[in-house]
Amino acid sequence: MQALDPTDGARCPACRRFIGPLDTCPYCDSPANKAFSLRFLRYAALVLAVAGMVLLFFMARSSRIPEIELGAVTPALNSATVRVEGNVAAEPRTGQADDTYISFSISDGSGRLTVAAYDPCAHILVERDLLPHKGDRVEVTGTVSIRSPGANRIVIETPKQLKVVKQATDA
């Protein structure tokens, strides 16, 4: 009885040189008949990888950014994208005369957070009159930025990340 060589399927049938997974021998150009399972595995791996990427894409598109309470913002959430909802505690203020920076505070009873927007988002918010007013209820989606203890803020990149849910009633 002859012992099985584990590299037998990886050798050229004509010249017996090692060719690995190639279908044609690079030395003698002879076709190498590979086992069906090896050829099937190559294509199956490719199909599974593409299907996995497509599934991952659709899962990412359909997932919702988590909503958290303002009091739950901790250093562990630094650079995380979150969604918060709260009442505007003070009128928005701009950093410079040309609207390159806007900030305002929001509160939900569990904590307080500063919302910041930089140019060009800040300029668009002012230009389109999308800024909230004191007492408005807003939903903000953005990136948490914690520079020092107690200096928590959320940075918005586009005007779509700021929604006025309910306007304050003027009394």
Average pLDDT over residues 54-58: 95
List pLDDT tens digits, range 143-152: 998 887 777 8
The set of residues, in sequence order, having a beta carbon less than 8 Å from that of 20 and lying 6+ positions away, is 10
What percentage of the chain carries pLDDT values higher than 70?
Answer: 88
pTM across the whole model: 0.64
The three-state secondary structure class of 152 is strand
Residue 171 has pLDDT above 60, yes or no: no
State the sign of the Cα–Cα–Cα–Cα dihedral 41, 43, 44, 46: positive
Of residues 36 and 103, which shows the higher confidence score? 103
List the domains of the chain with CATH numbers: 8-62 (no CATH), 70-166 (2.40.50.140)
Residue 50 has pLDDT above 90, yes or no: yes
